[in-house]
Amino acid sequence: MGIKQLFLFFYSLPFLSFAQNDTIKFWIQFTDKNNSPYSINLPEEFLSERAILRRTQQNIPIQINDIPVNQTYIDSILNSGNFYLQNKSKWLNAITISTNDSNNINLLNNLSFIQHIKNVQYLPVSYDDNTPYISGISKQAYLNSNNKEHYPYGATYKQLDLHQAQRLHEFGFKGQGIHIAVIDAGFLNVNTMRGLEHLFNENRILSTKDFVDHEESVYEDHQHGAAVLSIIAGNIPGEYYGTAPLASFHLLRTEDAGSELIVEEDNWIAAAEYADSAGADIINTSLGYTRFDDPSQDHTYADLDGNTTRIAIASDIAASKGMLLVTSAGNSGQTNWQYISTPADADSILTIAAVNENGDRGAFSSVGPSADGDVKPNIASVGWDTYYISPWSSNIERGSGTSFSAPMTTGMAACLWQGLPHYSNMEIKQLIEESSSQYQTPDSLIGYGIPNFYEAYRQATGIVYTGPKNMVIESYPNPFTNQITLKVNSNTTQEVALTVKNYLGQPIQTINQQLEIGQNLTTIHFAENWKAGIFYILIEFENNESEVLKFIKI
């Protein structure tokens, strides 16, 4: 994560064994996959049906690097001494092992299938407080903001409107059927957070996996991933609406927030391979790496050429499997380092800088280019004063950091890809870049600029958003106490009838409203003695079109 950056100012075999107290870890690279029991002709033995389908749809062949690491090699190492398997990488043909005695590694010198061995963790784990800064705003403050009339978006309207993302929602694209893997430091309280209940009620948490502690649960670890997830998936009608609230998720922990060691990159690689095998479409990662607790592991700027660090190489391999990868640029813009981190330098990854909802760049956002001169960051999204749902209180708050610009982009990309299902991952990436505000003149601060996701969809399909016709654009609040406001669009001057009905469908109030061309505001007042419950409003237009809206009185 590069000097402790979480970027927020704020189907594999089971592991044979694991020792919590082992603090010496090694990356072991193998020479080959000879005598493997697997074959590229039988991918169903090591890839899910969805992972195979993704490759088929994008004309991607099954390759040798899809085949798991040779289990015979792994067993030979584990049987050679006091070694414990931590993680595996089929893409890079390697494993990470741990031991409590560094001299044990000498026992592996005579194994001919080992290409090289590298230490990835030696220092004792530290537990410094590295909690990222998150600036808060009270619930009352945001409810009094200018966003409140934009049902169902509430506080999030402006941060989506910057990208015209709500237009994709109006087309019906809210992430349905898109599987997103969120790789992060933990997902504290996600299973109890307000605004994320729908993910569990609708079985849209597809899997959870901890690549640090080697267990399934991720809900008791760091809060960072929970905040990130809320930006994509959060849904509190009338108050908060994420970028892709109907997507499905794999929640994968790879980061130990108590230390900063290069082994965390290896955890990330294992998680990315898991996401691929499970059939994920998009990987969101708000993590990045430059410098470590052990300075001998530090990356230099020259390393950030997209082809040197293991995590960047793995990111490009992940993209070659048809997944769209989205990552944060980093928060080093005001430090001596200033540059992006890795894997943000990877050629095929979509790297995101931070702006606010007005499009102003956050000075903390890391700059490019990559060491080989690629445009980095690629684009920018809202990561400065971004609304998210607090993992601690479930209140809607604001935070800053490029950690938030990545999930903003991930969710919008999911909606775009849902609308363009026959596009490849790289075609989606290109569309997003081409729709951006400075595509013709990219720079090292925000790359191609701020993308317009509606424009990307329009360019791809020719479908133009004409706005609603004779329909309700917005209605609020819901639930309500004593009145409801409707914003109604009309193409002609006309009279409409609004009928309020109770939960049995019985009419209890009728209002005739004269509409002018354009948008009209109508407020319906409810008698104080009307009991709480469900009400319906029938709106009948002169052209025989009608709409029925459901409201809850509290």
In which band, very low, low, confident or very high, does the pLDDT at 258 lie, cut at 50, 70 and 90? confident
Mean pLDDT score, 496-521: 84
The predicted pLDDT at position 548 comes to 74
Q: Which of 346, 343, 326 is closest to 432 using CA atoms? A: 326
pLDDT over 60 (residue 52) = yes
pLDDT over 80 (residue 506) = yes
pLDDT over 70 (residue 11) = no
The predicted pLDDT at position 302 comes to 97
The predicted pLDDT at position 468 comes to 56
- Which residue do the tokens 């654009």 mark? 473
3-class SS shares of the chain: helix, strand, coil, % to 5 = 25, 25, 50
Distance CA 507, CA 536 (A): 9
The predicted pLDDT at position 106 comes to 87
* SS (HEC) of 165-182: HHHHHHCCCCCCCCEEEE
* Torsion-angle region of 449 (φ positive above 0: left; ψ -120 to 50: alpha; else: beta): left
The structural domains of the chain, with segments of one domain joined by +, span 156-436, 471-553
Residues pairing with 536 in the sheet: 501, 550
Q: Is residue 111 helix, strand or coil?
A: coil
pLDDT over 50 (residue 459) = yes
Q: How far, in Å, are 129, 323, 460 from residue 427 at the CA level?
A: 41, 11, 10
Question: Most distant CA pair in the chain: distance in Å?
Answer: 89
208-212, 465-469, 471-475 — which one is most confidently predicted on average?
A: 208-212
Where are the alpha helices (H) located in 238-282, listed in sequence order? 263-278
pLDDT over 90 (residue 439) = yes
Count of helix runs (H) and strand runs (E) in the chain = 12, 22
The predicted pLDDT at position 396 comes to 96
* Torsion-angle region of 171 (φ positive above 0: left; ψ -120 to 50: alpha; else: beta): alpha
The predicted pLDDT at position 139 comes to 32
Q: What pTM does this model have?
A: 0.81
Mean pLDDT score, 60-68: 97
CA 80 centroid distance within chain: 41
Please state the length of the chain: 554
Sheet architecture: strand order including 24-30? 84-89, 94-99, 24-30, 114-121
pLDDT over 50 (residue 4) = no
The predicted pLDDT at position 466 comes to 62
Q: Is residue 353 helix, strand or coil?
A: strand
At the topology level, CATH places domain 471-553 in: Immunoglobulin-like (2.60.40)
Give the count of beta carbons closer than 10 Å to the beta carbon of residue 125.
Answer: 12
Element (DSSP H or E) covering residue 328: strand 324-328
- Considering the domain delimited by 156-436, tell me its CATH architecture: 3-Layer(aba) Sandwich (3.40)
The predicted pLDDT at position 368 comes to 97
Mean pLDDT score, 318-327: 98
Percent of the chain with pLDDT over 70: 88
The predicted pLDDT at position 137 comes to 34
Q: What is the pLDDT of residues 157-188, one digit of tens each?
A: 999 999 999 999 988 889 999 999 999 999 99
Mean pLDDT score, 80-85: 89
Q: What is the pLDDT of residues 105-115, one digit of tens each?
A: 888 988 999 99
- Which residue do the tokens 């001998």 mark? 296
Distance CA 247, CA 13 (A): 27
Higher pLDDT, 433 or 538: 433
Check if the beta carbon of residue 116 is closer than 8 Å to that of residue 109: no
Residues pairing with 119 in the sheet: 26
Distance CA 57, CA 54 (A): 5
- Average pLDDT of the chain is 87
| Least-confidence region, from 135-144, 244-253, 416-425 | 135-144
pLDDT over 90 (residue 323) = yes
Positive or negative, the CA dihedral 308, 273, 424, 169 is negative
Give the count of beta carbons closer than 10 Å to the beta carbon of residue 236.
Answer: 22
pLDDT over 70 (residue 152) = yes
Positive or negative, the CA dihedral 441, 341, 347, 50 is negative
The predicted pLDDT at position 464 comes to 76
Residues pairing with 88 in the sheet: 95
Mean pLDDT score, 126-131: 35
Higher pLDDT, 550 or 321: 321
Please return the burial class of 395, using the count of CB atoms within 10 Å of its CB with bins 0-12, 13-18 and 19+: middle
The predicted pLDDT at position 381 comes to 98
Check if the beta carbon of residue 206 is closer than 8 Å to that of residue 281: no
Distance CA 407, CA 230 (A): 9
The predicted pLDDT at position 149 comes to 53
Same fold, 156-436 and 471-553: no
Check if the beta carbon of residue 492 is closer than 8 Å to that of residue 469: no
Q: Which of 324, 347, 397, 374 is closest to 58 using CA atoms? A: 324
Where are the alpha helices (H) located in 183-322, listed in sequence order? 197-201, 224-233, 263-278, 310-320
pLDDT over 90 (residue 409) = yes
